[in-house]
Structure 1
């Protein structure tokens, strides 16, 4: 008991849920991290193949099996007709509107290094709440699609 006497004890309750805004930010940051890893692997000449656990039921035995499979990651970037790299930020299957006035939905970049640095900068911006409005728009549009 002497160790407990030396520690600072407080009364606290752990929050079970996070706010929806923070949850959406964290989802987008995780996807941005995947895109960064994908770009770095492509630049190094490697294939990026993250693993995930998939559970299925065996039809013959009825037993549940867990298998490690390769997760498919779609690229958010492509090379345009002008030879520049275009980057679209996606939330789920929808592309985020980056500027409402000009209706811009892509970022034009010149090189792979610039692509990686832009993705890293976007990751910190999302954590600071820069794209919260665009994420909320896409999220409510998706939710309304289910309410038909």
Structure 2
């Protein structure tokens, strides 16, 4: 009992849900991590093929089967007309507007190394909440599209 006396005891309750903006940040951060892994694999001359578990029903037996399949990861970057790399940040299928004034939706980069560094800094920016407004706009537009 003396061990408990030396500790600070409080009454606390764990929250079951996460704030929606924090959930969106985490979702975007996970996708940025996938893009980072994809870039690093391409730079090393390897392929990046993450796996996921997929559950489906066997039509003949009616049995539910869980199988590990390769997850398709689309690149968010491409070589532009000027020969430089363009990077668009996506939330779901929509591209985020990175600057409201100029309506810029892509980042122009010179090299693959700069692309990797930019993805790392974007990940930090998302966790700090710098893209919260853009994420909320895209999320709201997606939500409105489902309402009929």
| Same fold, judged at TM 0.5 (above) | yes
Cα RMSD for the two superposed structures: 1.3
Q: CA deviation digits over 1:51-97, x for unaligned, max 9?
A: 10000111111111000000000000000111100000000000000
Q: CA deviation digits over 1:13-54, x for unaligned, max 9?
A: 110001111010000000000000000000000000001000
Which blocks of at least 5 consecutive residues in structure 2 are unaligned?
none
How much has 1:10 moved relative to structure 2?
Answer: 2.9
TM-score after normalising by structure 1 = 0.95
Task: Supply the distance in 2 between the matched residues of 1:13 and 1:27 (Cα, whole angstroms).
Answer: 25
- Counterpart residue number, 1:104: 104
- Counterpart residue number, 2:68: 68
Task: Supply the distance in 2 between the matched residues of 1:70 and 1:124 (Cα, whole angstroms).
Answer: 28
3-state SS of paired residue (2:10): coil
3-state SS of paired residue (1:25): helix
- Counterpart residue number, 1:147: 147
Task: Supply the distance in 2 between the matched residues of 1:37 and 1:2 (Cα, whole angstroms).
Answer: 49
TM-score after normalising by structure 2 = 0.95
What are the within-5 Å matches in structure 2 for residues 1-148 of structure 1? Answer: 7-148=7-148
